[in-house]
Every structure is written in C-alpha cells, then in structure tokens.
A and B are shown apart, each in its own frame.
Chain A
Amino acid sequence: MVEDDAPRRAPKMSPRERKYWGTLAACAVLGGIIGFAMAFTGMLDSKDPTAMLYSNAALPRNLALVIAALWGLGLPIGCLFYHHYADEQDQHAYLWACTMGWYIFVVLTPTWWLLGRGGLTPPVDIGVIFLVSMVVNALVWLWKRYV
C-alpha cells in the first residue's frame, strides 16, 4: 500500500485534489440516487428492492427517462471533470483499468454468446457483463493507483 513517511503531519489537500475528490463524490452521489430510485420503485412494485436493480423487467417510462438522462449526461460530465483534475499517475491507472475492462468485455461477450447459441449456457446477460467489466475496471484502477 501507499507509504507515507510523514504520518504525524496533518494531511492536506491541494485545491486540485479537493476538486478531484469532489468530482468522485458527486459521481458516487449520482450513482446512489439512481440506485435508490430503482430500488425504491422495485419495493413499490414487488416489495423486493433488487427487483428493479438486477433485472431486465419493464420500468415506468418517466423513471426510465430520468435515470437514463442522469446516467447518459451525468456520467460524461463527471468524466470530463475527472480527467481535468486527475494527475498523470491516476490517468495511467485509469488507462490500465479501462484496457482490462475492455478486454473482459470483448473476451467474455462473444464467448458467452457462442456458448449460449450452442445451448451450453443461458443467453447473454448484458447486466452481468457490465457488472464484471466494472468490477475488473475498479480493481485494476485501485491496484495501479494505490498498491
């Protein structure tokens, strides 16, 4: 892990770092709002908060529109700020993370699709592939950034 050889000194953040962490926090809040809205709708619908989060079931039209707008506009804007405030070592970690996430996507999707067509697996679930790609992306980023 990252060693700090001056632990007794109060940690300080530069204005750039504050903006950087502010951007990440804003993205986390955005994700939380989306997750909460979907889970809340799932609870209203079936008492099961995961019913809407982890399924391909139909969503109310207005909710789908709002969430899609939040994700489709909020995420690119958040990414713009992130790339503006991230330093070069962070960008380096990000590049590695995205590359590995991409490889997971391009290897896993066709493999699963072909196995599914052969009747060896259930049909491709884009939600699972998205989740696996994101987890790999996050783990690689944490490894390159902090370990």
Chain B
Amino acid sequence: MKNRLKVLRAERDWSQADLADRLDVSRQAVNAIETGKYDPSLPLVFRIARLFDMRIEDIFDDQFSGGPHG
C-alpha cells in the first residue's frame, strides 16, 4: 500500500530510527512500511495517524477509486 510516511517523517527531520522509537517498532518495520513491502496492522495504522495528527486516508492510499456510490 502506498503511503506518505517517508515524506511526513522527512518534514519532521526524523530518521527511521526516530520514527521506529515513537511507534515502538523496529527500524526494519518502518522501512518495510515506507517502501510498501509490509502493510501495517490496523492498530499500528491508528498509532501512525495519531502520531502525525492526521487522518489515516491522508497518510495511506489503497488506490481504491470505486465504491458503492461510484
């Protein structure tokens, strides 16, 4: 899943290790999420959104354009 984690992190001048520390995960996990190799769990997604004070859909993009209402 595409996301803006790397950009948001860079805006705050955080390293991957800094972000990992704040989310209580490893640096490898942050890297895997940023590169789209790993989709984080719902609880971790909520933690990320809370940390950046943003809505989940403003950070993560599941590239879904359709839906029941078009």
Contact = CB atoms under 8 A, between A and B. Distances in A.
Interface of A: 2-6, 9, 11-12, 14, 16-17, 20, 87-90, 92, 145-146
Interface of B: 6, 15-17, 20-21, 24-29, 31-33, 35, 38, 40-41, 44
14 contacts: A2-B27, A3-B35, A4-B27, A4-B31, A6-B16, A9-B15, A12-B21, A87-B24, A87-B25, A89-B29, A89-B32, A89-B33, A92-B38, A145-B28
Contacts of A145: 28
A88 B31 contact: no
Given A145-B28, A146-B28, A88 B16 contact: no
B16 to A, nearest CB: 6
B20 A4 contact: no
Contacts of B6: 5
Contacts of B38: 89, 92
Nearest to B25: A87
B27 A88 contact: no
A2 B41 CA distance: 20
Contacts of A90: 26, 28-29
Contact of A88 (B15, B20, B21, B29): B29
Contact of B29 (A6, A11, A87): A87
B24 A12 contact: no
A38 to B, nearest CB: 33
A17 B28 contact: no
A5 B6 CA distance: 10
Contact of B25 (A12, A89, A146): A89
Contacts of B40: 88-89
